[in-house]
């Protein structure tokens, strides 16, 4: 065996190993966290993102920012996944989860420098996360499903600091009402809450329609505009003459024959309209087309008909009115009709739509969000999504926590106590974890223009004195009892954030070798100058390949 190095990687691939790999991953993770940090909390700022085609998004929402940012680094992507998991699981707390993850990495960096092994760190972090989850469960407050006051406060907390803020009371009303309406024995499916965004008017004019809004007009001018106490038929098919499968050629030899042929078609279409009327329907929704002639006869019968209804609307209509969709009018009968107190064509923001309201059991609702401009409504919509998520989670779990940094400070104290019982070097990792959690109150203070050290000292003292719910009032700078202030978040927002943040951090820390087929670079580089000099930083990462790429 010679001393010749064995080359197993292609020339284009890059390899980063050992401490360099660790450091590269830590820097990338920290950079992601840093990029969303300033948006955290009631006084967090927004960011404006412009994509390559010039589309603009103004947002404060962690997961939206990260998914729009075009991040291109494997380690950074793992942190983005933390936000995505958080979004899927609870719908809120995405920024917090990412910020905690970044801080766990940052704390780990210091311990790695002191020659604490990554595996020890990982072990300590896992233990700490488990202990933290248990501690959170202990301080969680039980919420009854009909405790409207606390549900409102939860809905409102999720909207704080977002574009929706000035209409918080109204919007949290709409959110709580929507979630309660769609809740049934099978649980809560927020897909049954449709959000219609309307440009024009102000946010305060937003409203809830308990029922369905179909984005279509009635099919003919000769049909009525509205129907009261209406029997509703839903046809998942067409009111048209079926084209024959084979190319049939009709040879018309004399004009009478043609007339006969047309008359026959007309009779068929008339028959269809009559079938609808005979079933007793006042309103007809059809997922496919309605022939002109059929339209004419339907209008004669005084039926309000709508065609080309989206399949999602068909489902919603069936759910809301209790109608059973049939594939052909032949199957239509009284039993498969639904009912709505009012079906009417109305105008919103210059568009004609069909409102199906006063339904017996509104299991589907539509929220009409209004706002001055498209960007405003989009951001309100994102705030509403978060808010729907937290109300749903609260109803599902029945447990909440006071917010404003209170749980993190409480946990931090609890974990420092717990650390004493942990032997070996893991103890240091548990302590680092405790420190890392304080990034939330610290950032809330920083973003509110307060002194983070002063705020933390005060918060710790309050919690030491037994006030579990002491948090930071971002508006006055005082530490106050967050439960009195009505700042609540579901327990799961916190437990999920801690779990995914820990998993991602641990995963990154355990990596000591990065082998890439191409170039490694983080494209987002708005925080470049905050990166430590040398190995880190995004510019640094992009350039890393030169020194380390190649072979093994």
95 is catalytic: yes
232: β partners: 283, 338
CB of 513 to ligand ADP, least distance (A): 33
In the list ligand ADP, Mg ion, none, the entry touching 107 (Cβ below 5 to 8 angstroms by class) is none
404 binds, among ligand ADP, Mg ion, none (CB under 5 to 8 A by kind): ligand ADP
Question: For residues 363 and 320, is the Cβ–Cβ distance under 8 A?
Answer: yes
Q: Give me the helix-helix angle, 74-89 and 491-509, nearest 10°.
A: 160
Among 29, 163, 389, 403, binds ligand ADP (CB under 6 A): 403
Of 85-93, 101-109, 471-479, 543-551, the window that binds Mg ion (rule: CB under 5 A) is 85-93
Let me know if 61 is a catalytic residue: yes
Residues 430-459 that bind ligand ADP (CB under 6 A): 440, 444
Distance, in Å, from the CA atom of 379 to the CA atom of 361, rounded to the nearest integer, reads 31
Q: Tell which positions 161-200 bind ligand ADP, by CB under 6 A.
A: 161
**Closest CB to ligand ADP among 86 and 178?**
86
Do residues 79 and 504 make contact, with C-beta atoms less than 8 angstroms apart?
Answer: yes
Footprint of ligand ADP on 72-111 (CB under 6 A): 92-96
| CA angle (29 as vertex; 531, 407 as ends), nearest 5 | 105
Under 8 Å CB-to-CB from 178, ≥6 apart: which residues?
193, 208, 365, 367, 388
- In terms of phi and psi (left: phi > 0; alpha: psi -120 to 50; beta: otherwise), the region of 46 is beta
Q: Is position 92 an interface residue for Mg ion (rule: CB under 5 A)?
A: yes
From CA 315, how far away is CA 338, in angstroms rounded? 12
Which residue number, 35 or 94, has a Cβ lying nearer to ligand ADP? Answer: 94
Site size toward ligand ADP (CB under 6 A) is 25
Q: How far is the CB of 470 from ligand ADP (least distance, A)?
A: 11
Minimum distance, C-beta of residue 362 to ligand ADP, in the bound complex (Å): 29
Expressed in angstroms, the distance from the first to the final Cα of the chain is 16
Near ligand ADP in 139-168, by CB under 6 A:
157, 160-161
DSSP 155-193: HHHHHTTSTTGGGHHHHHHHHHHHHHHH-BTTB--GGGE
Residue 369 tokens, joined: 């969000």
Q: Which residue from 542, 547, 516, 518 is spatially nearest to 531, judged by alpha carbons?
A: 542
236, 386, 435, 524: which is the annotated catalytic residue?
Answer: 386
Of 92 and 282, which CB lies nearer to Mg ion in the complex structure? 92
Cβ-proximal residues to 299 (8 Å cutoff; 6+ apart), any chain: 220, 222, 223, 305
Q: Which of 325, 338, 404, 536 binds ligand ADP (CB under 6 A)?
A: 404
Closest distance of CB 99 from ligand ADP, Å: 7
| Cβ closest to Mg ion, residue 158 vs residue 430 | 158
Q: Which is nearer to ligand ADP, 215 or 485 (CB)?
A: 485
CB 86 within 8 A of CB 63: yes
244 counts as catalytic = no
Nearer to ligand ADP, 89 or 92 (CB): 92
The residue range among 8-16, 33-41, 105-113, 245-253 that interacts with ligand ADP, by the rule CB under 6 A, is 33-41
* Interaction of residue 495 with ligand ADP, rule CB under 6 A: no
Closer residue to ligand ADP (CB): 230 or 505: 505
The answer for residues whose C-beta is within 8 angstroms of residue 55's C-beta and 6 or more apart is none
Q: What count of Cα atoms within 13 Å lies in the side-chain half-sphere of residue 505?
A: 33
Q: Rounded CA gap, 402 and 414, in Å?
A: 16
Alpha helices in 308-451 (DSSP H): 311-321, 374-397, 406-421, 426-437, 439-447
Which DSSP symbol is given to 219?
Answer: S
Q: Which stretch binds ligand ADP (CB under 6 A): 22-30, 40-48, 203-211, 304-312?
A: 40-48
Of the pair 92, 426, the CB lying nearest Mg ion is at 92
Interface with Mg ion includes 499 (CB under 5 A)? no
From the list 29, 62, 91, 535, which residue makes contact with ligand ADP (rule: CB under 6 A)?
Answer: 62
Tell me the residue nearest to ligand ADP as measured from the CB.
403
Least distance from C-beta 52 to ligand ADP, angstroms?
Answer: 26
- Shortest Cβ 282–Mg ion spacing (Å): 45
Window contacting Mg ion (CB under 5 A); options: 41-49, 84-92, 451-459, 495-503: 84-92
**Chain position carrying tokens 């650390």:** 419
CA-closest candidate to residue 509, choices 3, 24, 16, 175: 24
Q: Which part of the chain contacts Mg ion (CB under 5 A), choosing from 87-95, 215-223, 451-459, 473-481? A: 87-95
Nearer of residues 92 and 291 to Mg ion, judged by Cβ: 92
Smaller CB distance to ligand ADP: residue 239 or 409? 409
Spot the catalytic one: 16, 59, 94, 479.
Answer: 94
Which of 64, 85, 95, 321 is an active site residue? 95
Nearest to 171 by CA among 3, 4, 380, 372: 380
Alpha carbon separation from 145 to 184, 384, 396, 399 (Å, rounded): 12, 20, 9, 10
Q: Which residue has the tokens 């307060």?
A: 450
Q: How far apart are CA 297 and CA 99, in angstroms?
A: 63
* Identified catalytic residue from 16, 61, 64, 443: 61
In the complex, least distance from residue 40 CB atom to ligand ADP, rounded to whole angstroms: 5
Give the residues lining the site for ligand ADP (CB under 6 A). Answer: 39-42, 44, 62, 92-96, 157, 160-161, 403-405, 440, 444, 471-474, 487, 489
Give the residues lining the site for Mg ion (CB under 5 A). Answer: 92
Q: Which residues are tagged catalytic? A: 61, 94-95, 386
């Amino acid at each position: 065996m010679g001393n010749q190095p064995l080359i197993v990687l292609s020339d284009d691939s890059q390899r980063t190993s050992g401490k360099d790999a660790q450091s590269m991953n830590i820097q990338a993770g920290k950079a992601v966290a840093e990029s969303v940090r300033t948006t955290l909390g009631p006084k967090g700022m927004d960011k404006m993102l412009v994509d390559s085609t010039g589309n603009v998004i103004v947002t404060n929402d962690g997961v939206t920012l990260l998914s729009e940012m075009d991040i291109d680094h494997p380690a950074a992507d793992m942190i983005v996944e933390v936000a995505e998991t958080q979004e899927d699981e609870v719908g809120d707390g995405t920024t917090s989860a990412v910020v905690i993850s970044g801080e766990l990495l940052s704390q780990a960096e210091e311990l790695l420098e002191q020659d604490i092994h990554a595996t020890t760190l990982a072990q300590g972090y896992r233990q700490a996360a488990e202990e933290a989850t248990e501690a959170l469960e202990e301080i969680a407050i039980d919420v009854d499903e009909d405790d409207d006051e606390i549900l409102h406060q939860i809905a409102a907390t999720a909207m704080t600091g977002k574009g929706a803020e000035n209409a918080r009371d109204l919007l949290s009303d709409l959110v709580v009402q929507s979630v309660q309406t769609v809740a049934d024995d099978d649980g809560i499916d927020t897909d049954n809450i449709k959000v219609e965004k309307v440009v024009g008017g102000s946010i305060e004019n937003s409203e809830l329609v308990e029922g369905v809004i179909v984005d279509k007009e009635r099919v003919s001018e000769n049909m009525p505009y509205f129907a009261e106490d209406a029997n509703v038929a839903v046809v998942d098919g067409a009111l048209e003459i079926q084209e024959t499968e084979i190319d049939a050629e009709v040879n018309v030899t004399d004009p009478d024959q043609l007339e006969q042929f047309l008359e026959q078609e007309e009779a068929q279409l008339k028959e269809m309209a009559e079938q609808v009327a005979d079933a007793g329907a006042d309103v007809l929704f059809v997922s496919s087309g309605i022939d002109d002639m059929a339209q004419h006869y339907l209008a004669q019968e005084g039926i309000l008909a709508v065609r080309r209804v989206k399949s999602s609307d068909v489902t919603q209509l069936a759910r809301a009115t209790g109608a059973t969709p049939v594939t052909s009018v032949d199957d239509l009968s009284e039993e498969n009709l639904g009912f709505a107190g009012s079906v009417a064509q109305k105008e919103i923001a210059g568009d004609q739509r069909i409102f199906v309201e006063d339904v017996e059991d509104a299991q589907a609702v539509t929220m009409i969000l209004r706002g001055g401009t498209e960007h405003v409504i989009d951001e309100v919509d994102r705030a509403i999504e978060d808010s729907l998520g937290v109300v749903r989670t609260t109803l599902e779990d029945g447990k909440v926590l006071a917010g404003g940094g209170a749980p993190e400070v409480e946990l931090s104290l609890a974990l420092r106590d717990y650390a004493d019982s942990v032997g070996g070097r893991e103890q240091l990792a548990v302590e680092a974890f405790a420190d890392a959690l304080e990034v939330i109150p610290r950032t809330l203070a920083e973003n509110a223009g307060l002194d983070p050290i002063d705020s933390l000292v005060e918060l710790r003292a309050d919690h030491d004195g037994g006030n579990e719910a002491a948090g930071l009032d971002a508006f006055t700078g005082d530490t106050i009892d967050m439960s009195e202030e009505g700042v609540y978040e579901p327990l799961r927002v916190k437990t999920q954030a801690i779990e995914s943040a820990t998993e991602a951090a641990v995963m990154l820390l355990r990596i000591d070798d990065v082998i890439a087929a191409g170039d490694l670079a983080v494209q987002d580089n708005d925080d470049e100058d905050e990166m430590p000099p040398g190995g880190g930083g995004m510019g640094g990462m992009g350039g890393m390949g030169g020194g380390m790429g190649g072979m093994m």
